[in-house]
Amino acid sequence: MTPYLPTLPSLKAHPVPDWFHDAKFGIMFHWSLSSIPGWATPVGPLPEVIKEKGIEYWFSHNPYAEWYWNTLKIAGSPTREYHVKTFGDSFQYPDFAAMFNKNAQKWDPDSWADLIARVGARYSVVVTKHHDGFQLWPSRNRNPFRPDFCSERDIVGELTEAVRRRGLRMGLYYSGGPDWWFETRPVTGVVSMAANIPQTPEYVAYVDAQWRELIERYQPAVLWNDIGFPAKLDIKKLYADYYNQVPEGVVNDRCLQADVTGLAKSRLGRYILRKLIERLLTSQAKGGIGKNIHADFTTPEYAAMGQSTDYKWESVRGIGYSFGYNQNETAEHMLSVEQLVHMLADIVSKNGNLLLNLGPMADGSIPELQRERVEGLGRWLKVNGEAIYGTRPWAAAEGRTADGIPVRCTAKEGSLYAILLGTPAGREVQLPGLRFAPETKASLLGEKRAVAVNVENSLLTCPAPFPASPAHVLKLSPAPARVE
C-alpha cells in the first residue's frame, strides 16, 4: 500500500471504508467530572435554542451538562446558583476529580460493551478528554497545570478491549479545540467563543502529543475530534500518520483551524464571527466537507440532512438535550423509542449514520430512561436490521403510501426496503410512484408468510394485519423502478 502523505490530495484519496458505510449505528459515551453534579437546565435542543433565544442565552443556560464548568463560571447562571447552594462557593470544579475516581472503581466496562452489542450498535466512541481537560486514560502527556487531573483507571483502554472482544469497532473522542486549563475565561458569547481555542505553542504541542499517543496506544477506528484544532497544528501530518497506522480508520470534520481573535476588535468583525459561529453551532447539517479541509464524514449535531448526500455523514446527539448525564432530564425531554426508530431510518436513507450518545451517571451506570429507549431501538433492529445494516441510499430517500404514511427507502443486493414510519390501518399498502417488475416478490420483515403483490397498481397485501411496531419494513425483490 502506498503510504499517505501530509498533503490534501493524498488525504482526500483515502476512501471511506465499507465498515463505516455498513455500520449505520454507533453509541457514544460522555463520562467525566461533570457526571458527579450531573446538572444542567434542559431548555431544548441546540439549534432551536440558539435560533429562538440567541447564543448568549445558550451559554448561560447550557443544557449540555458536560459544559458544567463553563456555565458555572457565568455569574447569574442557573448552574452557578445550583453549585453554590449544593457544594458551596469555595468548592471548585476540579475538586470533583477525587469523587469521580472513587465512583469509577465501581464501573464495569463489560456492562457498556454488552449494551452496545445488545442494542445493535456496530461501533462506539468514548470521550477521552472533554473541554474540562480531564483525561480518561493514563497519559504520558499529563495536564501541565495539574498532572494528577486524570482517571486512576484506564477507562479508554478497558472499554476499548471490552468492545473489541465483541467484534465491534472502537473510536475515540478528543477535544482538540477548547481546553479550559489553557484558556480559563468562560465562553459567554461570540467573542469568547472565538478565543476559546488556545493558540500557544505549548497547547499545539500538547494536542498533537495526546492525539498521537491515543492513536499509537489504542489504534482507534474513528478519530473524532471536537470543535477544532489550534491553527498551527500540522493536521495533515497527523491525519497521514493516522491513516498509515490505521488504514481503515476514519476522521470527522471538526478540524477547523483559524485564529480569529483579531476579528473581535471591530464591529464588522464581531458580526462576521457571530454568523460564523452560529452557522457552526446550528447549521452543520447544511454543509459538506470544505475544499481545504479533509474529513471522511461530516457531523451535524442535533440535526440531520434534508436529503440524501453523495458524501458520508453522521448525526450526533443525545437521547435528551445533553450529552453528559443531567439529573434534570425526564421522559418529556427525551426521544421516544418510536422517534429513535424513525430518526435512524431517515438518517440511513440519506447516506448517514446515527451516533447516539449515552450519558452515564457518576458510578458509570446508564440512567434507566436512556437504557429503556436505546434497548427499544435495539429490539426493533433485531427484527428489521436487514433494512439498515449494509444498505445504501436508493434512488429516492423519501416517499408516502397512498394513505399518507411516510416511507424511507434503503437498498441492498438488488432489493428495496420500504420502511413505513407508521402502521397501516388494514392489510394493504399501496406504494405510488413505483413500477414493479412482473417477477417482484415481497415480504414483511419479521413475518414468515409472503406478501401478495399486485403489479398493476403497486399494491401489497399482507397475510395478516400489521403488528404493533414503531415502523414496518417491506422488502421488494427485485427493486422496483421509480416513476417520475
pLDDT digits (tens, 9 = 90+) for 341-383: 999 999 999 999 999 999 999 999 999 999 999 999 999 999 9
**pLDDT of 406 strictly over 80:** yes
Helix (H) or strand (E) holding 475: strand 472-477
Bridge pairing between strands 222-225 and 250-251: parallel
Closest among 120, 148, 159 to 385, alpha carbons compared: 120
CB 50 within 8 A of CB 42: no
The Cα 472–Cα 207 span in angstroms is 46
The Cα 36–Cα 82 span in angstroms is 13
The Cα 234–Cα 205 span in angstroms is 10
The Cα 120–Cα 374 span in angstroms is 9
Between the alpha carbon of residue 97 and those of residues 16, 123, 150, the distances in Å are: 38, 28, 8
Closest among 22, 287, 334, 69 to 175, alpha carbons compared: 69
On average, the pLDDT of the chain sits at: 94
- Sheet with strand 250-251: strands edge to edge: 250-251, 222-225, 169-174, 123-129, 25-29, 352-358, 313-318
190 confidence band (pLDDT: 50, 70, 90): confident
Burial of 112 (0-12, 13-18, 19+ CB in 10 A): buried
Between the alpha carbon of residue 474 and those of residues 84, 140, 404, 478, the distances in Å are: 56, 53, 16, 12
Domains and CATH numbers, the chain: 8-387 (3.20.20.80), 392-482 (2.60.40.1180)
17-56 burial: b if 16+ Cβ within 10 Å, else e: beebbebbbbbbbbbbbbbbbbbbbbbbbbbebbeeeebe
> Which residues does residue 415 pair with via DSSP β-bridges, in sequence order?
412
Average pLDDT over residues 210-218: 98
The Cα 479–Cα 484 span in angstroms is 16
- Sheet with strand 441-444: strands edge to edge: 392-400, 406-412, 415-420, 472-477, 441-444, 450-454, 459-461, 428-430
285 confidence band (pLDDT: 50, 70, 90): very low
Average pLDDT over residues 397-408: 97
C-alpha cell at 367: 440512567
User: What is the Cβ-side half-sphere exposure of residue 352, based on CA atoms within 13 angstroms?
Assistant: 29
CB 387 within 8 A of CB 475: yes
Average pLDDT over residues 224-243: 96
Indicate the SS3 state at residue 362: coil
Average pLDDT over residues 38-45: 96
CB 320 within 8 A of CB 326: yes
Average pLDDT over residues 119-138: 98
**pLDDT of 229 strictly over 60:** yes
286 confidence band (pLDDT: 50, 70, 90): very low
C-alpha cell at 55: 447564543
Between the alpha carbon of residue 382 and those of residues 125, 158, 358, 455, the distances in Å are: 22, 27, 20, 30
Indicate the SS3 state at residue 155: helix
What pLDDT is recorded for position 272?
75
290 confidence band (pLDDT: 50, 70, 90): low
Closest among 40, 42, 2, 38 to 321, alpha carbons compared: 42
- Output the CA torsion sign for 326, 327, 333, 337: positive
281 confidence band (pLDDT: 50, 70, 90): low
